[in-house]
Every structure is written in structure tokens, then in C-alpha cells.
Amino acid sequence: MPYKILDKKELAMNEVWYKIHAPHVARKVRPGQFVVVRAFPNGERIPLTPVTWDREEGWITLITFVRGKTTMRMANELKPGDELLNVAGPLGNPAPMKKFGKILAIGLITGMVEVFPIARAWQEIGNEVTTLHVTPNPMVILREEFENAVSRHIVEGFDLQPGWGMNEIAQELVKRAVAKVKELLESEHWDLVFIVGPAGGQKAVFNVVKEYGIPMEADLHPIMVDATGMCGVCRVTVGGEVKFACIDGPGFDAYKVDWDELIHRTGFYAPLERLALEHYLKTLQAQGGEQ
Amino acid sequence: MAVRRKLIKERVPTPERPPKERVKDFKEVNLGYTFELAVKEAERCLQCPYEYAPCIKGCPVHINIPGFISKLVEYRDNPDKAVREALRIIWNDNTLPAVTGRVCPQEDQCEGACVVGKVGDAVDIGKLERFVADYARKNGIEEELLCEFEEECTGELGKVAIVGAGPAGLTCAGELAKMGYKVTIFEALHKPGGVLAYGIPEFRLPKEILDHELAKLNRLGVEIKTDHVVGRTVTIEELLQEYDAVFIGTGAGTPKLLNIPGILLGRIYSANEFLTRVNLMKAYEFPEYDTPIAIGKKTIVIGAGNTAMDAARSALRLGSEVTIAYRRGREDMTARIEEIKHAEEEGVQFEFFLQPVEFIGDENGRVKAVKFERMRPLEERDKRGKRKIVGTGEYVTLEADTVIIAIGLEPNRIITETPGLKTNPNGTLVVDENLMTSIPGVFAGGDAIRGEATVILAMGDGKKAAKAICDYIEKKRAKANA
């Protein structure tokens, strides 16, 4: 199955945009659903979210955050005209399309990508949607698209300090998100809060929202392999029951999610992920040496 | 052939790689027969007549076993001709002999029924079938036969959609193609084969053999669309608008997990996840392959079916010590005898009458031990003929830094959510005697209707469904023309 890369560009620091020919997905995908992509013959399967699509022309767009080997290799090696080996989907359940009223939809860093199709659809069916993007300033994306699609779009950006690693960025992200969400919840009435982002950030924001008793939905990002319900690696505890995020989610009631467990499970492969990235960087270096 | 043969009780053994060597890699354990050995084994067959031969009845796709075996003996001076004639006979009933010769539980099927087995070792039908397929593949004989079969595959009689590229779907596709139908298979994963691709390890079924068998189907005109999750990418209703009939062979791919404390701890895998990472994603070649697998020094595999053996032997090859913990006794194990033997030779430890009650984690949220209750067998037996067991109230804790759960599978929910498709309480699809589901024109077979069963039963269903689909389409046409 050839899935041609029709276009590709760097939107911001570490944020790469791809337009992919995938008519089977474009025809059917609904906001909240995702795809699984395999880009290389020895590659892994990674879940990504279609941001926009054209059912007639048969394309979808994806935005990846360059955070490890696969996404870096895609950013480095794939050019427009190349093909992705596999794009499976759409997968997961669509987000509920209801009139909730006034919605605050939050995206942390690249989580904003996943917020886009859902927020836009909610707005279209008559909700009043405010979107909040919390991210380092060099990684602000889709600003104009959001401004055109929803009632109000807020960017809570912050500058990266010299010497910061992932931990410092994550800490600042959580601090900013919590402060901004508190401010918004304090000053206005909300019917629903929705969040996409790293589990740690989602939990921190949930702890704020909980104090106000506002209904909250979260799209969860556990590790996935097949994403069709046949392995259970994406299992999460929701309301005391074991659920598979790929077929029961990815959206869940934030009040029912066991957040600590989720945070734990997403970090399992961190050492091997680092190893894979180092291995790739070494290969790149070796290739650079030969040239 | 009216040749009277002397009964030879002992079977001709197939060479195997020594345990110490083979546990270091994922290459095939059993090396199979040479032509000379195959002929010698073939001579043990008593050539029961086709109408009575119990081995044929024992085979779910009813291969003419004495027929193909006789060719090996008859043309013993011309190996190419012997294999060509034998393969032609096998292909009439089974287009995947290199697979079935390797993975069937022959002791419960053809070989279990073999007359010679009543007084000695049954004829090694599986290894002979495998030999024919392997020899034909390596010596260009398959290619000749394919050209013959290709001509029959006109694709003119109608269009059939098949959901799932596992053993049931592949067989149904092959049969329908041979009958003259245009077949399209829709597969969710990036590689066809179903359990043959993600479940059964290379040391039992080398992937190049599977790839070859799949390429053969392509030659017969079967199209395989990967990355298509029926139920999400396309629905059964949509397929019915485009195709004359649909066959569902989606298997039983959802792992059963133990509903006990600690199930979400790190390094607790379902066997499906573990085997998918290892087989489909080649995680054992990480970081040359991108998919990682985290495995510790001590692995406990829970369960004692073929999946448990595959997981245990794979974990061993990744460098872990492995113990299989089973809640019943040795004689209750459902895995193939050959696999249990191979696992033992390779150093897998077995613990019996242990039922897990809790997974215990360390400070990092990873599993560090499993608490079991000791069980005791009763005289009473359950529906499957296994002894019932009861708890003794006595507990043991075994250390483990990796746990693989292989206690069974149930049908995937994505497909069963199709409106109008009736399911049984256990999630399997309801079908009539012609394997037709509650939706006219939609047929089903394999694990999707049986729950977790075997490759060859799935293939038998695929074959039966192909005939039923053919009848259904013909009747529909006749009605439309009347």
C-alpha cells in the first residue's frame, strides 16, 4: 500500500507536518480518531492523529513532535514524494459530538495537534470553544488555524532557558498550565474541560479542575503496538476496570482515570527509547564521517 | 496400489538442531526430512483405501494423505516427479502445506487417527507434508504447478471480500480463487498471516516460508489490503455493497488478562503483546529494529498451551530464565507434545498446580514476584475432559522480573460491534450449518466462531465456507436470472 508523502514542512522547532495520501483513512476518519504509522522496513508502529483531511482528495495531515528515534528518522529521511509503508486506521473511538456549552480545550505542546479536529468540530456543532495551548514559545503551532476555528485561542508560551532538559521543560509546562487553567476557571463558567498532553501534565491540570467540579475528558496516550485491541499494552484503569485505550478510548472521563498508574506505564521503555535514539545518532555520525 | 507392506513400528526421526545451539537464535529447530528419509518414512504408510483412511478423516481439510504419500514411494527414483505429483494432490485440499506441516497438532488430527499409531508410531504425516512443500519450493516445482493452477483462477465468477488474513481467511481466499472468484482480503496489521505472522515464532515457522506461501496466493489472483481495520476503515455493510459475499476470519485476538491485583505493573505482558513485539516487530533485533522489548532475568509464563510454550521459548532466547506456571497438572497441558518436549530440552522449568492470585511490584512499579495459591486436582472432570481443581489455601511466592500471561484469547470486539451481527455470550459469532452469520451473504469461520482453537480447524472452516459462499452466490444469481 503506497501512502505517498504529498508535502512536508517544519512548522516550528521539532514540529514536522506531513500531508499523506491515505484515502482509506480520509474517507472515514472522525475527530478523536487516530492512525498507526510504520515508516521504515525495520521500523516500529507509532500512533499519530490526523489533524485535517480531505475526503474527496484522499489525504490526511499529521504533525509529529521529534522526540525519539522514529520521529527523528522520519524528519531527517522522508521527503515529499516518498512513501510511508503503512498507515492503518482510522482507529479508536470518535470524540463525543454533543452540545456541552462552554468548553475549555487544552493542549500541552504537541497535544494541541489532537485538540484541533475535536475543538473545531465542537465549535461547528454550536459549542463555545476556548482553546489553550501551553508550550515552549519556539514550538507554537497552528495558531492561525485555531483562531479561525474556535471562539477564542489562548497561547501560554514560555521561553526555553539555556541548559534546560526535558525535566525542566516538563516542570515549567505543568507550572504554566496549572496557573493559567486556575485563572480561567476562577474568572469564567465552564461546562467541560478537555485535555491532551503528557500524562503528568494531564494529571496536574485534572487536580485543579477537580476542585471546581467541572466535567473533564482526557485523551490518553499509553504505549501502543497494534492499536486494534489485540495486545493490551495500552491498558489503563478507568473507574476501577481495565480498559484498552486503543478500542475503548482514547477519550476517557478524567475523574475515573488512575493517573499515577498511567504515568508509570508510559515511562516503561524510557531507557530503551534513549538507547534507540543514541544508536540512531551514532549511525548518523558514522554516515557523516564517511562523506 | 495393492502392495502388501510390512508394518514398521518406529518412525524415521527428523534431524533437529541441538538445544544448546538453538536457544541462542530464532532459527528453525526441526530441520525436516531429506528425500531419502522421507521415502523411508513414506514406506511405513499402509495405504488404507481413500474411502476408509482414518488419517483423511482426522485431517480437518481432508487431504488425500495416502495418495500423496504413495507418490513419494512410487517415484522414488525421480524426486522431482515424486514431489510434483504429491504436491498436486495436497494442493487440491490445502494451499498452505509448508505451514500446516509445521504447526498442526498432528497427534490430535491425522496422526492421531493413523492405524500404524495403534501398534507403534503413527506415520509422520506432518513432516512428510512439510517435506513435499519445502522441496517443491526450493526446487522450482511449485512454480510449475502454480502456472497450472493460475489458469483456473479466472476471477470471473464473482467478487468476495475476506476480513482477516489469518489461516481461515487465507484458506478461504485460496479455495475461492481456485474456483474462479476474485478475492480481496482486508487485514488490519501491516503484514498478512494473522497468528502465523505475529504469534508463531520463527523457530517453529520461519517467516520466509510464510512470505512465500502468501506470495503464492497473490499469484492465484488474491489481493491483500493491509492497514484496513474492518469495522473502522470500512464496514461490513459497505463491503456487502461492493462484493457478492463476505467471509469473516478475524480470529480471537483479544488477550484474556488475569483479574487480580497488580495486573498493570511493568513487565507484565499478554502473550500477544510479547509475541507481537518479538515475531512481527522483530524486537529481538533491537536496536537494528526499532521496536523495543523489556525483559528481565527471571520470567514466569502463566498458562500451558501452545502460546505459553512459544512465549516461554522466545523469552529463553532473549536470555531470560523461564518458568511455566500452570494451575493444573502435567497431563492437562494443552500444548503440542513436540513443543513441550522442545521447551524442556531447552531448559524451560515447569511448576504445576499453581494459580496466580497477586502480582507484587517493586518501588519502580515493576513486577518483582508472583503470589500463587497451590491447587489440588479432583477426580471430577470439566466439559473439556480436564480434571477440576480446588485451592488448598496454601500460598507460594515466586520471584520474577517479567511475567507473560498466556491464559487464552477471546474474539476482538471491533468486528462484533457490526449492527445485525449476532454473537454468542462469549463473543464468538453465531453461524448456521453453512457457516453463514445472522447477516445473509456474510460467512465466518476459525477462532471468530470457535473461540481460541487451532490453525488447521480455522483452515477447515475457511475451506467449508468457500464452498458455501460459492453455493450462495450461484443461488443468488439463479434467482436474479429467473
Residue B154: per-residue pLDDT: 85
Cβ-proximal residues to B163 (8 Å cutoff; 6+ apart), any chain: B169, B185, B186, B230, B236, B239, B246, B247, B248, B249, B250, B415
Strands in A25-84 per DSSP E: 34-38, 46-48, 50-54, 59-65, 83-84
Q: Which triple of cell numbers denotes residue B400? A: 520474577
Length reported for chain B: 482
Residue B114: per-residue pLDDT: 96
User: Which residues in chain A have their CB less than 8 angstroms from residue B290's CB?
Assistant: 40, 42-44, 69-70, 276
User: Which residues in chain A have their CB less than 8 angstroms from residue B311's CB?
Assistant: none
Cβ-proximal residues to B422 (8 Å cutoff; 6+ apart), any chain: B429, B430, B437, B438
Nearest chain B residue to A43 by CA distance is B290
User: Which residues in chain B have their CB less than 8 angstroms from residue A236's CB?
Assistant: 264
User: Which residues in chain B have their CB less than 8 angstroms from residue A228's CB?
Assistant: 188-189, 229, 253, 412, 414
Minimal CA separation from B365 to chain A, in Å: 7
User: Which residues in chain B have their CB less than 8 angstroms from residue A261's CB?
Assistant: 264, 365
Task: Determine whether the interchain pair B270/A231 forms a contact, defined as Cβ–Cβ distance below 8 Å.
Answer: yes
Q: Could you tell me if residue A16 is left (phi over 0), alpha (psi between -120 and 50 degrees) or otherwise beta? A: beta
Which of B188, B228, B273 lies nearest to residue A225, judging by beta carbons? B273
What percent of chain B shows pLDDT beyond 90?
Answer: 77
DSSP state of A20: E
Amino acid at B239: L
User: Which residues in chain B have their CB less than 8 angstroms from residue A89's CB?
Assistant: 227, 229, 232-233
User: Which residues in chain B have their CB less than 8 angstroms from residue A85's CB?
Assistant: 190
Minimal CA separation from A273 to chain B, in Å: 8
Residue A1: per-residue pLDDT: 58
What percent of chain A shows pLDDT beyond 90?
Answer: 83
Selected for mutation to probe chain A from B190, B235, B281, B412 (highest A CB count within 10 Å) is B190
Q: Which residues on chain B place their C-beta less than 8 Å from a C-beta of chain A? A: 188-190, 198, 225-229, 232-234, 253-255, 257, 259, 263-264, 266-267, 269-270, 272-273, 276-277, 281-282, 285-292, 294, 365-366, 412-414
Which of B188, B234, B289 lies nearest to residue A42, judging by beta carbons? B289
DSSP state of B10: S
Which of A33, A230, A233 lies nearest to residue B254, judging by beta carbons? A230
Residue B266 backbone dihedrals phi, psi, to 5 degrees? -70, 150
pLDDT-based confidence at residue A291 (cuts at 50, 70, 90)? very low
CA-to-CA distance for B108 and B229, rounded, in angstroms?
A: 34
User: Which residues in chain A have their CB less than 8 angstroms from residue B188's CB?
Assistant: 88, 226, 228
User: Which residues in chain B have their CB less than 8 angstroms from residue A229's CB?
Assistant: 253-254, 412-414
Task: Determine whether the interchain pair B291/A70 forms a contact, defined as Cβ–Cβ distance below 8 Å.
Answer: no
User: Which residues in chain B have their CB less than 8 angstroms from residue A28's CB?
Assistant: 232-234
Strands in B194-271 per DSSP E: 223-225, 245-248, 254-255, 268-270
Selected for mutation to probe chain B from A53, A60, A230 (highest B CB count within 10 Å) is A230
Task: Determine whether the interchain pair B225/A229 forms a contact, defined as Cβ–Cβ distance below 8 Å.
Answer: no
Task: Determine whether the interchain pair A24/B234 forms a contact, defined as Cβ–Cβ distance below 8 Å.
Answer: yes
Minimal CA separation from A180 to chain B, in Å: 32
User: Which residues in chain A have their CB less than 8 angstroms from residue B273's CB?
Assistant: 225, 231-233
Which of B190, B287, B290 lies nearest to residue A86, judging by beta carbons? B190
Residue A289: per-residue pLDDT: 55
CA-to-CA distance for A151 and A153, rounded, in angstroms?
A: 7
User: For A161-193, what is each residue's pLDDT tens digit?
Assistant: 999 888 899 999 999 999 999 999 999 999 999
DSSP B155-168: --S-EEEEE--SHH
Nearest chain B residue to A91 by CA distance is B232
User: Which residues in chain A have their CB less than 8 angstroms from residue B282's CB?
Assistant: 42
Residue B476: per-residue pLDDT: 92
Query: What average pLDDT values come out for chain B (482 residues) when binned by 10 residues?
Result: 70 94 94 96 95 94 96 96 96 90 91 94 97 94 85 88 96 93 96 94 92 88 95 94 97 91 93 94 90 93 96 96 96 90 96 97 92 93 83 96 94 84 93 96 96 89 96 93 83
Selected for mutation to probe chain A from B291, B359, B405, B417 (highest A CB count within 10 Å) is B291
- C-alpha to C-alpha distances, B82 to B7, B66, B68, B141, nearest whole angstrom: 22, 14, 9, 10
Task: Determine whether the interchain pair B255/A275 forms a contact, defined as Cβ–Cβ distance below 8 Å.
Answer: no
Q: Which triple of cell numbers denotes residue A122? A: 465542537
Task: Determine whether the interchain pair A226/B286 forms a contact, defined as Cβ–Cβ distance below 8 Å.
Answer: no
CA-to-CA distance for B46 and B299, rounded, in angstroms?
A: 46
Which of A43, A232, A264 lies nearest to residue B290, judging by beta carbons? A43
